Structure 1
């Protein structure tokens, strides 16, 4: 089944180019394309795409604010920032708002489509430059405690069920939803539902934050 996509970008040339990339692949289906966050907020909840490619600088409401408003009410929709910004502040603000991926606009069409698929399968795709910044930030940030995951002091892990804890541990190893499903002999949709419940209990918006809690940061 085709992965459904919406695009939010206020630069018409870039928006049209992204539309063309999605349309030219049989494995992806474009549901909508919007020039403003305000328009996206009205129409994306109706369309319910699998993935939204979201620019950050939209002129009016920012893409980050748009994700922050849409994600809580639409937990099944996956948001990937597609932007020119490489600043640490923008990256972490976007991830905290609920984005699950972050790629740069200079990404090649092939890699862009791969990133959409990876995101839909449970990954957290990021351009190489962005991933390095995320890793560097975690390396520079001291752990808040030395407790093990099972006795977490960041304190919500004990609210997770055994199955949720099992899935979180596999996520921390970088496994995709389909790989977790195969290992646990359950469906990808069941994995996805467990992950959403887990996010609610841990008060996090994405895989990066959940894994961070698992390691007690």
Structure 2
């Protein structure tokens, strides 16, 4: 069991100002101790198991091994560690990759340090803290499957079918002819391995394609 109060923190961040800023603030304004701070994963990897951190604050844009690639490696070295990502970028794909690779929290770099200290406490209690802008993106992407076999147009057509529109109405709404709609529908059925409208809608909803 992690000791909530005296958690050991490691910071991996190449920006010296940010690294030293967090280091100072965590040490001086929180119950936590920064046991080490590194400019890259490559610098950290030989020593980090000895540091035995409870929480790692990990930058995504690192020289050498990126934070995303470092994540699974760190989780392998320290299976119980919590990892909070720090980033300038919050594209959907990067966020989802980080979460899929075992990140516990995700913050953009303009986050006030008090929030980061709060986030440490939250992950130690099993939470998944994120900047509001990040969580909004995660929620939006969870509503849509990122790896849909359907093209944007096919997804659009299937959404209209799910709303009860027939081929003629879909053709009118999308400014395409009915034959084109038919071709798209055929492709949707083939890709989803179904033979009917109802099955297509079902499969798509189950797999969050629409």
Q: TM-score range by the shorter chain?
A: 0.5 to 0.7
Deviating more after overlay: 21-30 vs 115-124: 21-30
Aligned equivalents of 1:70 and 1:28: distance in 2? 20
List runs of 5+ in structure 2 lacking aligned partners: 149-205
- Mapped pair 1:75 → 2:79: yes
Question: Match for residue 164 of structure 2?
Answer: none
1:72, CA displacement in angstroms? 2.1
Question: Match for residue 179 of structure 1?
Answer: none
Aligned equivalents of 2:30 and 2:100: distance in 1? 32
1:95, CA displacement in angstroms? 1.2
2:17 corresponds, among 13, 17, 37, to 13
Deviation track 1:102-141 (CA, whole Å, cap 9, x = no partner) reads 1111111211110111011110111100111111111123
Number of residue pairs the alignment of both structures matches: 146
Deviation track 1:125-183 (CA, whole Å, cap 9, x = no partner) reads 111001111111111239x9xxxxxxxxxxxxxxxxxxxxxxxxxxxxxxxxxxxxxxx
Cα contact 1:2–1:26 (8 A) shared by 2: no
Question: Match for residue 203 of structure 2?
Answer: none
Aligned equivalents of 1:127 and 1:92: distance in 2? 14
2:120 corresponds, among 93, 116, 120, to 116
Question: Match for residue 141 of structure 2?
Answer: 137
Aligned equivalents of 2:31 and 2:129: distance in 1? 18
Aligned equivalents of 1:216 and 1:48: distance in 2? 40
1:90 corresponds, among 87, 94, 114, to 94
Aligned equivalents of 2:133 and 2:21: distance in 1? 22
Aligned equivalents of 2:7 and 2:83: distance in 1? 13
List runs of 5+ in structure 1 lacking aligned partners: 145-214
State the 4+ residue runs in structure 1 displaced beyond 2 angstroms. none
Question: Match for residue 106 of structure 1?
Answer: 110
Q: Structure 1 residues 127 and 59, CA, compared in 2 at 3 Å: closer, same or farther? A: same
Determine which structure has greater relative contact order: mean sequence separation of CA pairs < 8 Å that are 6+ residues apart, divided by chain length: 1
Aligned equivalents of 2:99 and 2:122: distance in 1? 16
- Mapped pair 1:39 → 2:39: no
Deviation track 1:49-101 (CA, whole Å, cap 9, x = no partner) reads 11000001111111111112110231111111011111111111111222111
1:216, CA displacement in angstroms? 8.7
Q: Structure 1 residues 48 and 132, CA, compared in 2 at 3 Å: closer, same or farther? A: same
Cα contact 2:145–2:207 (8 A) shared by 1: no
Question: Match for residue 27 of structure 2?
Answer: 23
Aligned equivalents of 1:216 and 1:100: distance in 2? 25
The alignment's C-alpha RMSD in Å is 1.9
SS at match of 2:61: coil
1:2 corresponds, among 3, 6, 11, to 6
